[in-house]
Amino acid sequence: DYVEIEFPEELNKLAEESEEYSSLDTDKYLTPRKNDSFDYKFYVPIGAEHKIYSVKVTGHKNDKKKIVHPIMEVRENILNEVRTRIR
C-alpha cells in the first residue's frame, strides 16, 4: 500500500530553480492498518503566486487505486515581512 503525491508543474519548476532543490513530489509506503494517516511536510517555493493550487494524491491498495485532488491556497510570500537595512 502506498500514496503518491504530485504537486502542480508550476510549483515543481520553482522548486527546481531554488538553491536547495528538493522535489515536492513523493511516494509514501504505508503499513496496512484499519485507519491510516500521515502528515507530509513540504515547503512552498518562494516564487509561488498568490492563488489556489490543486495537488494530485493517488492511493494504492492491492489492485485498487483512488485519486483525489485536495487544494491549497498560497496567500503571501514569507519574505513580505522581512526587512533589510544597510548602514
Short-list 45, 47, 41, CA closest to 20 = 45
Alpha carbon distance 24, 4 (integer Å): 11
The reported pLDDT for the residue numbered 64 is 94
52 contacts: CB under 8 Å, gap ≥ 6: 71, 72, 73, 74
pTM of the model: 0.74
**Does the pLDDT value for residue 8 go beyond 90?**
yes
Short-list 82, 57, 53, CA closest to 68 = 57
The reported pLDDT for the residue numbered 83 is 67
pLDDT in tens, 27-78: 888 776 767 777 888 888 888 888 999 999 999 988 999 999 999 999 877 7
The reported pLDDT for the residue numbered 23 is 78
